Amino acid sequence: MTPLVGQVEIRDRSEGGGCVAENGAFCFDWAVDNFDRYVTPILEHLVLVTASVAAGFALAFALALLSHRRRWLVPPLIAGTGILYTIPSVAFFVLLLPITGRGTITAIIALTAYNLQIIYRNIVAGLANVPAGSRDAGRGMGMTPGQLLRRVELPLAVPEVVAGVRIATVSTVAIATLAFLAGAGGLGEQIYSQLDFKTNIVLAGGLCIVMAIAFDLLLQLAQRLLTPWEPAQIRRRHAAGADDVLAAPA
């Protein structure tokens, strides 16, 4: 399956002709011919990202519901989920190995941990930013707390929540390149296996960036579909993620 850390696969590159032999910046022909080698890493990478963002979202959502009516929980939860940020992902993947073993699950656990704080923070902020007038009106008209949450607060929190998921997803795509340290493959595995081959680096790195952009655009589209009521300029402000300038995991 995935090569052990530290071993470098030696490939025969003589077939690429001049460009490859000279290790040119990007050998297009070679890339096209050998693209199938990248398919599995791409798929592995996609699985890692979607699984961990989904898990992170589910957990963050549960925590946010928990702390919605108990605001005193918010600071400790933010601090708690934030501790994980400080640990560089390189270290985190490795530290989990003795505890959860090698493999995709371990990597997903680590990636989820990195997602958690940012999504949680954004859900909490989104709920807090619901206009006070709407909340007062909803309550005063006879909505129970549950109805208020479902019909008013959560829908209005969507922009902020999606912004958080977008940021988390883009970060996760980047961090997942180190998932191979936990034995989970991915595009990072591909880079690491041929570190001196420039075309490989450009291609694998480029695919990462393309994936990040693709996710970002997809989520922006999702946000637009979910919030038909937002006037354009507010939507643009949310899109820029201007509201969140704080820590990103490394």
Token output for 68: 């919605």
Q: Taking CB under 8 A as the rule, does residue 248 contact other proteins?
A: yes
Q: Taking CB under 8 A as the rule, does residue 250 contact other proteins?
A: yes
Q: Which of residues 77-106 bind other proteins (CB under 8 A)?
A: 85-95, 97-102
Name the residue nearer to other proteins (CB basis): 55 or 105: 105
Radius of gyration (C-alpha) of the chain in whole angstroms = 21
CA 116, CA 165: separation in Å to the nearest integer? 10
Token output for 24: 């040119």
Q: Taking CB under 8 A as the rule, does residue 18 contact other proteins?
A: no
Name the residue nearer to other proteins (CB basis): 17 or 75: 75
Name the residue nearer to other proteins (CB basis): 63 or 211: 211
Q: Which of residues 101-140 bind other proteins (CB under 8 A)?
A: 101-102, 131-140
Helix boundaries (H) for 69-129: 74-86, 89-100, 104-128
Q: Taking CB under 8 A as the rule, does residue 156 contact other proteins?
A: yes
Token output for 25: 């910046």
Mark residue 186 as left, alpha or beta (left: phi above 0; alpha: psi -120 to 50; beta: remaining): left
Q: Which of residues 176-215 bind other proteins (CB under 8 A)?
A: 177-178, 181, 187-188, 191-192, 195-198, 201-202, 204-205, 208-209, 212-213
CA 138, CA 153: separation in Å to the nearest integer? 10
From 27-35, 36-44, 62-70, 172-180, span contacting other proteins (CB under 8 A): 172-180
Name the residue nearer to other proteins (CB basis): 45 or 68: 45
Q: Tell me the CB-side half-sphere exposure of residue 86, using CA atoms within 13 A.
A: 5
Q: Taking CB under 8 A as the rule, does residue 15 contact other proteins?
A: no
* Residue 152: CB minimum distance to other proteins, A: 6
Token output for 244: 């969140």
* Residue 58: CB minimum distance to other proteins, A: 22
CA 160, CA 127: separation in Å to the nearest integer? 9
From 30-38, 56-64, 119-127, 237-245, span contacting other proteins (CB under 8 A): 237-245
The dihedrals phi and psi of 24, each to the nearest 5 degrees, come to: -70, 165
Tell which residue, 202, 65, 42, has the closest CA to residue 120.
65
From 47-55, 57-65, 107-115, 221-229, span contacting other proteins (CB under 8 A): 221-229
